[in-house]
Structure 1
Amino acid sequence: MTAAETSAARPPRTPLTKAVHHSGTRAWIVTGLLVVFMMVNFADKAVFGLAADEIRADLGLSATDFGLANSAFFLLFSVAAVAVGLLADRVSPKWLLLTMALLWSVAQVPAALGGGLAVLVGTRIVLGAAEGPAFPVAQQTALSWFPNHRRNLPGALVTLGVTLGVITAAPGLTWVIGRHGWRAALWVVAAAGVLWAAAWLVCGADGGHRDAAADRAGARSAPSGRSGVWAAYRRIFGSRTWIGTTVAYFTSYWVVALMLVWMPSYLRNGLGHSPETAGRLVAVPWALGAVALLAQAALSGWLMRRGVGSRWARGRVGAGLLLLGALCFLAVPFMDGTGLQTALLVAGFGLGGSFATVAITTVAELAPSERRGGALGTMNAVVTTAGLIAPTVVGRMIDSQGGAGYQNAVVVSAALLLLGAVAAFVLIDPARDATPANTA
C-alpha cells in the first residue's frame, strides 16, 4: 500500500476529532468532581435525618413538627429546579454549579450558630432552593461530555455520588453529632461545600458534546421564536415517555425522602437499634443502591450496544428495580425478628430508591440538547414534590400511630413503588416519543 493509499484509508484528524481525543480525560475529571458535588449535596440533606432525635429533643419538636421542618426544605426546591433548569440551557452550568455550592455552605451557618424552629425552617427553605437544581444541572453537565450510547456510566456515577455522600457522611456525622452536637455537624458540611467550590473553580468545565445527527435535524426543523420554544417543551412534557418516567421517578424519590428523614429514626425507635448501630445501618441501603445503580447502568449499556431499544434497556430494567423494592417493603410486616425486618427494609430502600439514572438518561435521550436542561429541571421539580409531602405525612403517622406508623409508612411506599413500576413498564419508550430534533 502506498503512502497515498494509506493516507486515503486513514480518516483525517480534523480539529473536531483532536478535540474529542483530548477531552476524554477532562470529561472524567469533570465527572469525578460532579460525583463529589453530589456527595456534598446529600451529606447536607442527610445530616438532619441523622440528628433527628437530637434535634427534636433540643428544640422540643413533635414528629409532625420535625417532618414539617424537613418538608420546608422542598418548599422552593421544585421551583428552583425548574427555573435553574431552564436557565441552564442559556447560562454556563459551570457557574450555576459553583453558585449552588457556595449557597449551600452559607445556608448552614444560621442554624449552626443557634436559634430554634423558625431558624431551622428558614435555613432549610434557603438550602432547598439552592439544592433543588443540583442533580439535573450536574447530570446535564456530565452528559454533555459523552454521546448517548456512553451516557449510562457517567450518569450512574453522578447518581452514585448521592449514595457515596450518605455512606461516607453517615458514620462521620453520627460521631460528630454524638460528641459535639448537631450544630457542629452543620459546620462540617458547610466547610465541605466551600472546599468543593474551590476545586470546581479551578478544574470545572462545561462539555461541548452534542449529538451530531440530532443537531443537524434540529437546525432543519426546530421552530424559532418563543412560541417555538414552548411548543418543543409541550411536545416533550406531553409524551408518554416523559410522563411515565416522571411518575416512576416520583415514587422512587418518595422512598429517597423517607430514607433521608425517617429511616434513622425508624431503625432506632421502630426496630430498637442503638444510635451507633443505626448510624452504620443507614449507609447500607445507599451502598445497595450504589450496586443497583452500577448494575443497571452496565445492563442497560450492554443491551443498547446489542441493539436493544431504551424501552427495554432503560424503561423495563428500571421498572424491575421498583418492583423488587416494593416486594421487599410488602414483606416487612409479615416477618418476625428485627434482623429479617431490617434486611428487608434496607433492600426495599436500596432498590426502590435507585431509579434516578434511568430517569435522567431516558429524558436526556428524549429531549433535544437545546431543551435538555429545561426537560430535566422540570422533571426534577415535579418529582421532588415527593420530598415536600412524604416527611410531613409520615411524621403525622408516627404521632398518631406510634411505632406502627413507621411500618404503615413502608406499606404506603410499597404501593407507590408498584404504581411507578407499572408506569415505567407501560409508558417509557424514547424511540417512539423522541422530539423531531432527536430523530434524525
Structure 2
Amino acid sequence: MEKQSGLIRKTNVRYAMLALVFVNVMINYLDRSNLSVAAAALSKDLSLSTVQMGLIFSAFGWTYAILQIPGGLIADRIGPRVLYAVCLITWSIATVCQGFARGFVSLFGLRLATGAFEAPSYPINNRIVTSWFPNHERASAIALYVSGQFIGLAFFTPVLVTIQYYAGWKGLFVTTGLVGLIWGLIWYFFYRDPLDHPRVNAEELNYIQKGGGLIEGKKIDKTQPSIWKWINLKQVIGSRNLWGVYIGQFAMNAMLWFFLTWFPTYLVQYRGLNFIKSGYLASIPFLAACAGLLLSGFVSDYLIRQGKSIAMARKTPIIIGLVVSASIVGANYSTSTTAIIFFMALAFFGAGMALISWVFVSILSPKHLIGLTGGVFNFMGNLASIIVPIVIGYLAKDGDFKPALVFIGALGLIGACSYLFLVRNIEPPIILTEEKEPKVLSAS
C-alpha cells in the first residue's frame, strides 16, 4: 500500500468504476441514435412509409419508459456487475439483429426489445454511484457519467455516418451491436462493488462510507420490508418532494427529446439550412449541454464542501438551469443562423445543468428503495420521449414551429417551479411498514 507522511493513502478505485459507467452510457446512446442515422436508407430499402418510421422511432420510448419501475426493482435485487452485463449483451444482440430486419414488424419488435433491455441501465447507474461515492462527490460523479450521452451524440454521430457510408445501414447496426457485446464482457470482467473489489483499500471504503456512500451495494438489509410490496411503490409515488423531482425531470427530458427527434428537421425544413451544414451545427447544443452538466455538478459539490445546505447546493443549479432552458423561445424572434444556434445551445446548456437531478434519488429515497425510486423517476422523465414528440408534431403541423418552442420553454419554467415549491424539506425518508408505523431512517 502507498504511504504518505507515515499515513496510508486511500485508493481511488471509484474513479475507475465511474469510467466504466461513462462508457456504458456512451454505448447506450449510440444504440438509441443509430436508427436516426440509418433511417433514410433503411426506409427506402424496406419500403417503409413516414408513418411507419414514426412508429418505429417511438418503439424504443414505449418499452423503455414502461419498464423503468420493474428495472428499478431488479436493480435493487441483482448486483450491477451481473445485471449491467446482461443488459449490455441483450440490447446489443437486439441491435445486431436490426441489421437483418426485413420489414416493419421485425424492426418495430427489435426496437421494442432494445428499449426493454436498456430500461434498467440508469437505475443501475444511480445504484453504482450511490455505492461508490460519498455525498459531497456524488453530483460531480453523476454529471461525469451522464455527460457520456452528450459526448457520444456530439462526437460519434459522424462516426456512425461514416460506418453507414462504407458498410450500409445493415453494417451500421451490426457494428454498433458488436461493440456493445464486447463491452458487456469487459464490464463483467472489470466491475466490482466496493466491498468486493480487490484493489480498493480500507481507507477509501471508510472515506466513502463516512461521506454517506452505501458501500454494501446490492446487499440489502433483511430487516427492511421487501421491495416487491405495493406499500413501497406507494411510498415513492406518494412523496411531495419526489413529485417535484419527477416533474422537473419530465421538463428536462422534454428538451432532450426535442433535440433527439425534431431539432434536425427544425433546422432543415423550418429554417432552410443545408442538410450537411445542419449536421455540424446540430452538435453545438449537445456540447453546450455537456458543459452545463459538468458545470452544475462541480458547482453543486463545491457548495456542499463550503458548508452550504443540501437544499441550496443541489436545487440552485437545477432551478437556474431549467429557467435558462426557457430561452429556447428566443429562436422564435431570430432570423440569423448564428442567433438561432445560440438560443438553442443556451437552452440545452440550461437543460444540461438540470441533469444532476439524479442526485435527489439518492437523497430522498429510502436506502433500500434506491433502485425502485430511480425506476419511478426515470419512468416519469421518459414519458417525455412519448408525449413531447407527438405534441410538437401537432403544434407544428401547419408549418409554424413557434408554438412548439413556446411549449418546450414553458415546460422548463414549470420544472423550475416544481423544484421551488414542491421540493421543500430535504429530510431523511421515512419507511412505511405493513403496519403503517413510520420508521425514520438515520441520516447518513
1:201 lines up with 2:176 in the alignment: no
Q: 1:364 to 1:168 in 2, by over 3 A?
A: same
Q: Please report how far the alpha carbon of residue 92 of structure 1 lies from its aligned counterpart in structure 2 after TM superposition.
A: 0.9
Aligned to 2:276: 276
Note if contact 2:96-2:176 (Cα within 8 Å) is conserved in structure 1: no
TM-score, reference length from structure 1: 0.85
Q: Please report how far the alpha carbon of residue 326 of structure 1 lies from its aligned counterpart in structure 2 after TM superposition.
A: 0.8
Between the aligned partners of 2:42 and 2:405, the Cα distance in structure 1 is 23
Structure having the higher helix fraction is: 1
Note if contact 2:120-2:375 (Cα within 8 Å) is conserved in structure 1: yes
Between the aligned partners of 1:36 and 1:424, the Cα distance in structure 2 is 30
Q: 1:57 to 1:171 in 2, by over 3 A?
A: same
Between the aligned partners of 2:236 and 2:442, the Cα distance in structure 1 is 11
Deviates more, 1:91-100 or 1:107-116: 107-116
CA deviations on 1:160-218 (whole Å, 9 max, x unpaired) are 11112112311111233344433332122112201211211210112357756978xxx
Between the aligned partners of 1:396 and 1:178, the Cα distance in structure 2 is 33
Aligned to 2:315: 315
Aligned to 1:3: none
Q: Which amino acid in the other structure matches residue 355 of structure 2? A: A
Q: 1:319 to 1:59 in 2, by over 3 A?
A: farther
Note if contact 2:134-2:210 (Cα within 8 Å) is conserved in structure 1: no
Q: Please report how far the alpha carbon of residue 225 of structure 1 lies from its aligned counterpart in structure 2 after TM superposition.
A: 4.0
Q: Please report how far the alpha carbon of residue 242 of structure 1 lies from its aligned counterpart in structure 2 after TM superposition.
A: 0.7
Between the aligned partners of 2:46 and 2:320, the Cα distance in structure 1 is 42
Q: Which amino acid in the other structure matches residue 388 of structure 2? A: A
Note if contact 1:137-1:377 (Cα within 8 Å) is conserved in structure 2: no
Q: Which amino acid in the other structure matches residue 270 of structure 2? A: G
What is the identity percentage for the equivalent residue pairs of Structure 1 and Structure 2? 25
CA deviations on 1:134-179 (whole Å, 9 max, x unpaired) are 1221221133111112212211111111112112311111233344
Q: Which amino acid in the other structure matches residue 312 of structure 2? A: W
Aligned to 2:202: none
Q: Please report how far the alpha carbon of residue 97 of structure 1 lies from its aligned counterpart in structure 2 after TM superposition.
A: 0.5
Give unmatched runs, 5+ long, in structure 1: 1-9, 216-220
1:137 lines up with 2:124 in the alignment: yes
Q: Which amino acid in the other structure matches residue 322 of structure 2? A: L
Aligned to 1:434: 429
Between the aligned partners of 1:174 and 1:236, the Cα distance in structure 2 is 42
- Structure 2 counterpart SS, 1:307: coil
Q: Please report how far the alpha carbon of residue 323 of structure 1 lies from its aligned counterpart in structure 2 after TM superposition.
A: 0.8
Between the aligned partners of 1:338 and 1:162, the Cα distance in structure 2 is 25
Pick aligned residue for 2:407 from 385, 403, 412: 412
CA deviations on 1:95-115 (whole Å, 9 max, x unpaired) are 110011111211113321232
Note if contact 1:368-1:438 (Cα within 8 Å) is conserved in structure 2: no
CA RMSD of aligned residues (A): 2.8
Q: Please report how far the alpha carbon of residue 333 of structure 1 lies from its aligned counterpart in structure 2 after TM superposition.
A: 0.9
Aligned to 1:422: 417
CA deviations on 1:223-244 (whole Å, 9 max, x unpaired) are 7545996545534432222111
Aligned to 2:258: 258
Between the aligned partners of 1:227 and 1:348, the Cα distance in structure 2 is 38
Aligned to 1:167: 154
Aligned to 1:7: none
Deviates more, 1:171-180 or 1:419-428: 171-180
Note if contact 1:107-1:127 (Cα within 8 Å) is conserved in structure 2: yes
Q: Please report how far the alpha carbon of residue 77 of structure 1 lies from its aligned counterpart in structure 2 after TM superposition.
A: 1.1
Q: Which amino acid in the other structure matches residue 363 of structure 1? A: V
CA deviations on 1:34-93 (whole Å, 9 max, x unpaired) are 000000001111222334444455555555543322221122212322112112212111
Between the aligned partners of 1:408 and 1:54, the Cα distance in structure 2 is 31
Pick aligned residue for 1:363 from 358, 361, 381: 361
- Structure 2 counterpart SS, 1:251: helix
1:286-297 pair list within 5 angstroms: 286-297=286-297
- Structure 2 counterpart SS, 1:421: helix
Count of residue correspondences: 413
Q: 1:227 to 1:267 in 2, by over 3 A?
A: closer
Between the aligned partners of 1:367 and 1:102, the Cα distance in structure 2 is 29
CA deviations on 1:253-305 (whole Å, 9 max, x unpaired) are 12212211222333333333333333322322221111111110111111111
TM-score, reference length from structure 2: 0.84
Pick aligned residue for 2:64 from 77, 99, 124: 77
Q: Which amino acid in the other structure matches residue 155 of structure 2? A: T
Q: 1:117 to 1:274 in 2, by over 3 A?
A: farther
Note if contact 1:74-1:388 (Cα within 8 Å) is conserved in structure 2: yes
Q: 1:101 to 1:198 in 2, by over 3 A?
A: same
Q: Which amino acid in the other structure matches residue 411 of structure 2? A: L
CA deviations on 1:343-401 (whole Å, 9 max, x unpaired) are 212322342254222x2111101123221111111111121111122233334555x32
Note if contact 2:364-2:427 (Cα within 8 Å) is conserved in structure 1: no
Between the aligned partners of 1:278 and 1:33, the Cα distance in structure 2 is 32
Between the aligned partners of 2:323 and 2:50, the Cα distance in structure 1 is 29
Q: 1:213 to 1:170 in 2, by over 3 A?
A: closer
Aligned to 2:95: 108
Aligned to 1:401: 398
Deviates more, 1:307-316 or 1:90-99: 307-316
Q: 1:323 to 1:49 in 2, by over 3 A?
A: farther
Between the aligned partners of 1:124 and 1:91, the Cα distance in structure 2 is 25
- Structure 2 counterpart SS, 1:74: helix
Between the aligned partners of 2:236 and 2:103, the Cα distance in structure 1 is 44
Between the aligned partners of 2:25 and 2:79, the Cα distance in structure 1 is 18
Q: 1:433 to 1:26 in 2, by over 3 A?
A: closer
